[in-house]
């Protein structure tokens, strides 16, 4: 009985590994809490960006012909960059949060928790050289963090 149960769980573990392995390209993982990764918002951002954003925006936010760049000093312009269709203005971190929560990840928008959205926004703004201050970015200070 024990052996059969163990055998079954090994099969399940194997299947999960195969599913995770085949998910590359379009991440399927939906993380609703970031409890199991480091507390610090930057290192959580590195991880969560890699899970949910890098497949389209590139490992370092560089973008490509199908996806705008979200890194470097030109990113997060107040109006959409030439050729892209964002209609909202980016003036503060809270504007970026609202847009990203509404529209991203592009194929499954709104599927992440607010905590995960704030974390990837903090990470990407830092990648774009925006000074977000020393406190973790969130609903309390998002409006006060100006992009330019």
Smallest distance from ligand HEC to CB 79, Å:
8
Which residue, 7 or 110, has its beta carbon nearer to ligand HEC? 110
Residue reference for tokens 């389209």: 56
Closer CB to ligand HEC, residue 9 or residue 30?
30
**Rounded least distance, CB 7 to ligand HEC, Å:** 37
Q: Provide the b/e sequence for 30-66 (b: ≥16 CB within 10 Å).
A: ebeebeeeeeebeebbbbbbebbbbbbbeeebbbeee
Residue numbers of the site for ligand HEC (CB under 6 A)?
52-53, 55-57, 66-68, 70, 76-77, 80-81, 84-86, 96, 100, 104-107, 120, 124
**Min CB(99)–ligand HEC separation in Å:** 6
Residues with Cβ within 8 Å of residue 28, at least 6 apart in sequence: 19
């Amino acid at each position: 009985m024990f052996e059969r149960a163990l055998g079954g769980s090994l099969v399940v573990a194997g299947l999960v590994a195969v599913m995770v392995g085949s998910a590359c390209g379009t991440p399927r993982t939906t993380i609703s809490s970031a409890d199991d990764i480091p507390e610090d918002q930057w290192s959580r951002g590195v991880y969560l960006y890699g899970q949910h954003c890098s497949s389209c925006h590139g490992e370092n936010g560089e973008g490509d012909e199908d996806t705008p760049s979200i890194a470097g000093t030109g990113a997060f312009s107040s109006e959409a960059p030439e050729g892209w269709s964002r209609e909202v203005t980016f003036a503060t971190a809270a504007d970026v949060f609202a847009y990203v929560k509404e529209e991203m990840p592009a194929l499954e928008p709104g599927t992440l928790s607010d905590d995960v959205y704030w974390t990837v926004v903090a990470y990407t703004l830092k990648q774009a050289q925006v000074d977000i201050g020393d406190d973790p970015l969130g609903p309390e200070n998002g409006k006060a963090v100006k992009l330019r």
